[in-house]
Structure 1
Amino acid sequence: MNVPPKESPVAVDRLLPDRDAQDLLELVREIAAEEMAPKAAQTEADHEFPRDVFRLLGTSGLLGLPYPEEFGGGGLPYEIYLQALEEVAAAWMSVGVGLSVHVMSAYPLFAYGTDEQRRRWLPDMLGGGTLGAFALSEPQAGSDVAAMTTRATETADGWTLTGTKAWITHGGRADYYTLMARTSDDGAHGISCFLLPGDSPGLTAAPPERKMGLTGSVTAQVFLEDVGIEADRLIGAAGSGLTIALSALDSGRLGIAACATGLAQAALDTAVAYARERTRFGRRVIDHQGLSFLLADMEAAVVSARATYLDAARRRDRGMPFGQQASVAKLIATDTAMKVTTDAVQVLGGAGYTRDFPVERYMREAKVTQIFEGTNQIQRLVIGRALAAG
């Protein structure tokens, strides 16, 4: 009988700047170990959305870590926030992705909203009172964002929204949507950003997508049928929505890179624990060179992925350009997650292919990281264009 090792969050020996950062990471590990890891597998198997976990993260102050304290955030640099996010994802990937999406959904309001808009809405977002979604993609406008057709029509007292958004994390469950819609036919310059309440009349959601992984994370189409909103729900200037969205995605890609790294670390930890405990031909599995070399390559890949997202985060924290580095981090970390989780299944052999062990779930969860927040082909395009521009 296969007895799986107890799932637990990763305990990486991290280089942190101060005691406060260390205390935060210890708090996150404690929450992950006690409130998340024990229920992750069953909740994923039941396809349940763990809204209670997000409420806990909110009351613990973890939903607004990289935003200023004056608005209810944690006031932490991205370098620290991403490492906390990695810990969450290592314990429960669906929650890690949801946390990353929520943090990204608050970014346009924080970076482009007016002082009045920030004072009005940010505290609830960052304090955990509300859960956000980022509504950019459409059925025919995924990587080609400029092809979106969702329309916002100006009225005497605000705007009316009509259209369909697709692949929306927290679709139908979010308390608000940071949503991009077309306000003119001026191509990429005709898109604007709106902050849309989740209970707006005329806003509905399709049944959740039936996915191969991240089954605890709700992903759904969102339908807008003459949804009216007030004029002050426009974030930034009309026509600046694509710029806002791409800026948010730079930071969001770092979030996904951290999540993918945490997932890869969890798979590596499971594989190492298995290889230490099991014996074959009179020796521990890990003492066979073929397996030890495979595990060594997995370790090197995870460490490298972490280094790439931390490099990009440190650039962001210092006010340096980081878009190219964010694409590199997203590309490297998510390809790493796919390879390391696949190799973890191989290390466990037949046991790895069963649901008695978590690595088959990790492998299924890893695949989508190469797709969302911009496919890895798009990341290569971004990186290539940056190199061509010099």
Structure 2
Amino acid sequence: MGDAEIIPIGTRGRPGRGTGKQPSSAARDLAGASKGAAKGAKAQPVGARPSRPRPTPRKAVRAAPEPTVAETPAEGLTEGSAGEGVLRAPIRTAARGPLAGIPAADWLAAFRHAAVEVFGEHWEPQLARFLAFLRRRLTGDYAVDEYGFDQEITEQFFMAALRPIAERWFRIEVRGVENIPTEGGALVVSNHSGTVPMDGLMTMVSVHDHTGRFLRPLGADLLFRLPVFSALARKGGATLACSEDAERMLSGGELVGVWPEGFKGIGKPYSDRYKLQRFGRGGFVSAALRTGVPIVPLSVVGAEEIYPLVGNVPALARLLGVPYIPITPLFPLLGPLGLVPLPSKWLLEFGEPIRTDEYDRGAADDPMLVFNVTDQVRETIQQTLYSLLMKRESVFR
């Protein structure tokens, strides 16, 4: 017994630790000095069970009245807390919604202000026109001609989407627009370039903005085999590049556009830029001779530089059934970013019309005459290209 180790009661052999059931004396001392101790609370002996308040008899329970503004404690303060604050009414659940407390007039004023900021002062007529347009499209109350041309959607959607590109990106300058007839059929013949046929779209926008007429392009059969682009091309006024459709449109007084170089023009390498390729067999001249409409030569400078073609992948092109797979300094090296065209400065010049109504009716069947007129149109465009290139100060300005 003399050698036995004395262990303090309630520490389980470790000085300063409790038993796990009752707090140690040090913990009881700290608890007595804590801030959360209630004022005036009686100290209970260690190990005693905490006393519970006696339940109030059922008859003595009364509904407490709602606190008034003066009786409601301030936000962040509780009864018995130190400090004073400004008292206010409690926030009810119904008052916490996002629309609660904002009058309808304020919402309407905010909507009007936002509309003015986005659409300008005359936003109401624009909204009315848009709603009317939407109603016509949903109900089918719009006209489409026999070729699928939708004038309303072309003017209000296609032209509106292409116009900023023509005016701000390529900064197109148009010359000789007075050579385009204001009415009646006419055939616009242009050079073709740019790896992607962007020049056709920009020509359509420029003609419409300067003359008010719609240029009806003749497209290759590949365009009308594509699932999405085929429908868009039809609605935009394009039709298949065949003599029958071209003659019908010219006889109907339409302004028709043709690019005789075809894929040979847009797919030529950058080293051959602004050198016209062969104009085919002169089918466009035959259509003009049969209908007696004038031929307006068009020269486009600037489209050659938007996608400089430096290479091709013919094996992959044959596999996909397309004329070529272009390789440019930016594509496919930069991925989708390489599809953005370079902002070159464009010049469009319409030459003097070449009259065809002076020839006999059977002139379209004379191959030599057709060849001579085709060569005349080609040489006119080529010489105009050289003249514009000499006047151009820079590719991008």
**What TM bracket, shorter-length normalisation?**
under 0.3
More helix by share: 1
Is the radius of gyration larger for structure 1 or structure 2? 2
TM-score, normalised via structure 2 length:
0.22
TM-score, normalised via structure 1 length:
0.23
